[in-house]
Amino acid sequence: MKLIETKDAVGHVLCHDLTRIVPGESKDAQFRKGHVVTEDDIPMLLSMGKEHLYVWEVDENTLHENEAADRLVALCESAHMRRGAVKEGKIELFATENGVFQVDVARLDTLNDLPDIMVATRHTNTTVCVGDKLGGTRIIPLLIDRHRIEEAEALIGSEPLFRLTPFRAGLKAGVVTTGSEVFSGRIEDKFTPVVERKLAAFGVPVAQHRICDDQTANIVQAIREVRASGVDLVLCTGGMSVDPDDRTPAAIRDSGANIVTYGAPVLPGAMFLLGYYGDGVPVMGLPGCVMYSRASIFDLVLPRVVAGIRLSRADFTRLGNGGLCLQCETCTFPNCGFGKE
């Protein structure tokens, strides 16, 4: 810290708040600690009686918090994001598209382990809308050694920490409803309307629908008919448990799908199935809980499928931490802990 004449203060950083008093009107900080003095500030400072100022001594090896935040946010930012204005050394990122927000959590942890640096984010794999806040970054002190930021940049490299994958437009879904009780008309199909409603939330219509009994060959035929129509995703409802008449998983496999997982560490949704065909079209086997639970594994997986993000076995393994829905009397999903990694 050093004392300089105000007229020589342009480009220097204030060490403390400077208060301006307007009699009968206001008393507030006109300039905040950390403010970089500009040429336009000089007349106001002099009118406040500030002939001299205490400023930080900044050299070529020291960065102000605003410059440091700018370099840190560059490590996070990627397509479909915009920066907010720098404020008190903090810069936030916002979504410019509806889609799925993802964070490289391991690399984020490594960055936040460095002293005097922080990046805070939404949970990874979160559905976001245009304008939603994604994350923010700043340094802890007012000034930081340039080499600390260079260390962070070398550690993270050129691949951004954040990714936002927009939802795809123009998708069409095919639904295969299984169950002899529905096929025969003994009970009403209440599953398909639930699926239609959840798909509609992402702008995906059901273009093909088949109802068939519990015979494996018939389910396979129905799936192939739906596939042949050119749909972008296939959903099979019912027949996903271990009962002898539940043959949907075997039928999905026999239809030519490569199974990523049958079963997941999520409640409700343990009997969920996901697979992909050779052309990349996903197929899901939906257990009965999707029909009656307000939130289930389907709500965790569907956004990524609509965004075109291909899921692996490891993606499902990670769902166990946070995969228990508490079945709250008043459901607040997705604004709760269910499915948050």
Instruction: Please report, for the chain, the start and end positions of each structural domain, with discontinuous segments joined by +.
Output: 2-56, 62-166, 173-320
Which CATH number applies to 2-56? 3.90.105.10
Quote the mean pLDDT of the chain. Answer: 94
165 — phi, psi (to 5°)? -105, 115
**What class does CATH assign to 62-166?**
alpha beta
CA-to-CA separations, 211 to 9, 102, 106, 197, in angstroms, rounded:
78, 36, 44, 18
The answer to whether residues 336 and 279 touch, using CB atoms and an 8 Å cutoff, is no
CA–CA dist 141, 118 (Å, integer): 11
Q: What is the pLDDT of residues 8-42, one digit of tens each?
A: 999 888 877 788 888 888 888 888 878 889 999 99
Percent of the chain with pLDDT over 90: 80
Note every long-range contact of 14-22, with CB atoms under 8 Å and residues 24 or more positions apart, other chains counting: 14/53, 14/54, 14/55, 14/56, 15/54, 15/55, 15/56, 16/54, 18/45, 18/48, 18/50, 18/53, 20/44, 20/48
Tell me what pLDDT residue 33 has.
77
Percent of the chain with pLDDT over 70: 99
Contacts of 59 (CB under 8 A, 6+ apart): none
Q: What is the pLDDT of residues 130-144, one digit of tens each?
A: 999 999 999 998 889
Q: What is the pLDDT of residues 29-87, one digit of tens each?
A: 888 878 889 999 999 999 999 999 988 776 788 888 888 999 999 999 999 999 999 88
DSSP state of 169: S
Mean of pLDDT values over 145-174? 97
Mean of pLDDT values over 160-185? 95
Paired strand residues for 3: 54
Contacts of 187 (CB under 8 A, 6+ apart): 181
Cα–chain center distance at 147? 31
Cα–chain center distance at 313? 19
**What class does CATH assign to 173-320?**
alpha beta
**Higher per-residue confidence, 244 vs 150:** 150
**Mean pLDDT lowest among 1-10, 131-140, 243-252, 295-304:** 243-252
Tell me what pLDDT residue 244 has.
60
